[in-house]
Amino acid sequence: VCGVNLDSYDPKYKISNASCTTNCLAPLAKIIHDNFGIVEGLMTTVHATTATQKTVDGPSSKDWRGGRSVNNNIIPSSTGAAKAVGKVIPSLNGKLTGLSFRVPTIDVSVVDLVVRIEKAASYQEIKDVIKKASQGEYNGIVEYTEDSLVS
């Protein structure tokens, strides 16, 4: 994952770059963990439609929710992103959990990360650390804005 463990990549292996949710979550979790220490956390992703979802209601081999039409529903789903972060950041293994909501949009997803940290910090201090990281070591990987954006 860029910004997290890319330095350990060995080009003799052909690997994937993890999921879009993991690529969003891992750098942010690493910045927070390196600066404040994450004790535990919950991530929630609101995720756009994927190719594996049904366009009309029908049976699903995975679960009954997966059989619902993605065009008309917000569908709670599992995500492996939190577990994947524990694989690329071993010190976070078992500390994060997560859930996903699949929503009827063509593109765009968002990750919300709530953590309990070891080192006391204000909301402003956490924002300042993330902003500084986005302008330095994580430039091109993490972007920071306080603009009122929409998808």
Tens of each residue's pLDDT in the chain, 151 residues? 666 766 776 788 777 777 888 888 999 999 999 999 999 999 999 988 888 888 888 888 878 788 888 888 998 988 888 888 998 899 999 999 999 999 998 888 899 999 999 999 999 999 999 999 999 999 999 999 999 988 7
Distance between CA atoms of 35 and 58, rounded to whole angstroms?
47
79 token code pair: 């995500």
Residue type, 14: K
Architecture of domain 38-135: 2-Layer Sandwich (3.30)
Domain ranges in the chain are: 38-135
The catalytically annotated residue of 2, 5, 19, 20 is 20
Strand 38-48 with 110-117, pairing:
antiparallel
Question: Residue 20 catalytic?
Answer: yes
